[in-house]
Structures are given as structure tokens and as C-alpha cells.
Amino acid sequence: METNLPEIQISVVVPLFNEEPNLIPLYESTKKALEGIGRPWEIIFVDDGSNDEGPGILAGLAGKDPCVRVLTFRKNAGQTAAFDAGFKRAVGKYVVTMDADLQNDPADIPKLLALIDEGDCELVCGWRHRRNDPLVKRVSSKIANYVRNKLSDENIHDTGCSLKIFQREALVQIRLFNGMHRFFPTLMKMHGFRVREAKVNHLPRKFGKSKYGISNRVLRSFIDLLAVRWMKNRHLRYAIAQHGRNQK
């Protein structure tokens, strides 16, 4: 539903798929964090084709709280599509992204906001420096981060952390393709935007299991990474060519 709240400052975009038991505690903890900031806000839940009771719970939240908006996909389209839909509906000056599994801590949002408020970056990435995941997932994540950074010429500690904050004016200039949500820092830098990192909490998962995990997406992620590398190289060649023409 549409909100009538003027001058929303913070939009929180949460993609989700079958996260029924997490939705109420996620809403409550996020609302608490945002109310403590003292700026107008909205939470946009993007239901990526859930087949549990989640859609009904979200409808109930939106019905009682005008700060809650819900977008619902008829079928599962993937996390990038969910992020993209949320970004297009967000109206805040800043856009926060986070997962629905309760492992991102909404209490970290004020920290990220304070950093981006300093005005020297357009994206602040969360860095889960103390992971609360099984050993195999922690090791897999380290390997994935290493490979992504090597092939994309980046030095981001935790590319897979969904807790981030963007300046919306910068974010709307980024064109997303399937799988591109994994490479937000690189995509932002390709457009000339600045990126910072901040250490954030990482909480143990209480309910359910990962729906957007890497175990069944390794090949897809690698293909996406090659695509980003190609895009980055092409962008660099174009920039050099433009510079050469401007010097004539």
C-alpha cells in the first residue's frame, strides 16, 4: 500500500522467500532501530514468491502500520529482482538493504547512517567480522570473497553482507541484471561513486534455513562474476576512449 508520510528519509528494503517465523521479530527490531533515529522511514518487504504463511503476515503488518509497504511476486524471481523492485519503490534519501533471516542486526543501521551522513561516500557496506555461521559456510564465504575481489580488482572484506546503506540518488543510476546484487561495491565504483565499510553484528539464525545461500549458486555466481569483470573492463576502455576524444 502507498504511504502518505512526507519526506521519508530512510527506506529499508528487505527481500524474502519463505521466512514466515522471522517476519514479526524482524519488523519489531527494525521499527525499534528506525524510531530511535528520529527520521521519517519506511520498510519495504519484497516477497519473492513465498509459499508459506509469510504473505498473510506481511499483509497484516502493512494493514496496521502505514510505514510498512509490501511488494509480492507471483513466483520466485531471485534476490536481484527483489532488490530491484524494492529500489524502484523506495522514496527515502537513503536506502538500507538487509536480509530477512534475523542475522543482520537492525541496531547497526544508525552506525551506517552516521557514516554516509559524513558525505564522503555513496555506499557503506556492512562487514560481518564475526560470523555466526557453520564452519563450512564461513570458509565458503572467505573463498568467495577472495575470488570476487581478485577477479573484480576490489578489496571489500565482505561482499556477501546484505546490510548496506546507499544514497538513493546514486543507487537509481545502477542498472541491475540477474545476480548483480552480489557486486554492489564494484557497480557503484564503476559509476564513479565512493564506497566505505563498517563492521556490523552478525547474529545466529534462529528459524529456518538459508533460502539465498551459495551452496546451489556457486556456478551461477562465478558466471555473474565473469560478467561483472567484462563490464568493468569495457567500462574502463570506454572511459579511456572518451578521455582521448576530449583531449583532441
- pTM for the model stands at 0.79
Confidence category of residue 104, pLDDT binned at 50, 70, 90: very high
**Cα(234)–Cα(247) distance, rounded to whole angstroms?**
20
Give all strands (DSSP E) within 104-220, no chain letters: 123-128, 164-167, 195-200
Whether 3 is covered by a domain: the verdict is no
Whether 2 is covered by a domain: the verdict is no
Domain count, the chain: 1
Q: What is the pLDDT of residues 137-178, one digit of tens each?
A: 555 555 555 555 555 566 777 878 899 999 999 999 988 877
Whether 96 is covered by a domain: the verdict is yes
Mean of pLDDT values over 38-53: 97
Paired with 127 in beta bridges are: 199
Whether 84 is covered by a domain: the verdict is yes
Query: Which CATH number covers residue 149?
Result: 3.90.550.10
Cα distances (angstroms) measured from residue 150 to each of 147, 182, 225: 5, 14, 10
Whether 1 is covered by a domain: the verdict is no
